[in-house]
Amino acid sequence: MHIVQGFLITEKSVKKFKEFNSKAKIIDLESDLKFIPLSDVLLNKISSSENPEIGKAYLYNEMIQTFLKDLSISGKVMYFETEYFGGSGGQCSEVFENGKTISVYSENESSINDGLKYFGIVVESGSSDEFEAVGLNRFRTTEEWLED
């Protein structure tokens, strides 16, 4: 099982995000990226349950998309989700910068790795892909990220 929802920001966006929510967990990753797991509290602050999801995404919707576009004025931002059970499932991502989409919403087996490339992430020896290179393989659920 692998179920993670959240977004990645750069150091440039931390201050603006903390102005919005100073209590949300911000986790340092490799390459100066920050991971913000999408907790229920944060989701409810950004969005409403009546807002329809985008594509096949479990949580991602237009209110989250608008929030991240606004946040990206201060630096690149990427939303992503994984949802795998026993080898089946999927992932999605979308990347924003300067208030605009720079990598449109994508649902494919490499969408997260493709999104990470917009942050300049390259696979070094010892890592199997961009996801692992930044340390996103550390935990398999959003809850584990929040508890760490």
DSSP one-letter string for 1-15: -EEEEEEEEEHHHHH
State the pTM of this model: 0.94
| CA–CA gap between residue 126 and residue 117 (Å, rounded) | 17
Task: Report the candidate in 115, 19, 6, 16 with the shortest Cα–Cα distance to residue 73.
Answer: 16
Which regions of 76-123 does DSSP assign to beta strands (E)? Answer: 77-85, 88-97, 100-106
| CA–CA gap between residue 148 and residue 145 (Å, rounded) | 5
CA atoms within 13 A on the CB side of 60: 24
Residue 75, phi-psi category: left (phi > 0), alpha (psi -120 to 50), beta (remainder): left
Q: What is the CA radius of gyration of the chain?
A: 14
- The tens-digit pLDDT sequence of the chain (148 residues) is 999 999 999 999 999 999 999 999 999 999 999 999 999 999 999 997 677 778 888 889 999 999 999 999 999 999 999 999 998 999 999 999 999 999 999 999 999 999 999 999 999 888 999 999 999 999 999 999 999 9
Tokens of 93: 């991502």
Residue in the block written with tokens 């910068």: 97
- C-alpha to C-alpha distances, 5 to 35, 43, 123, nearest whole angstrom: 10, 10, 22
Supply the pLDDT for residue 49. Answer: 66
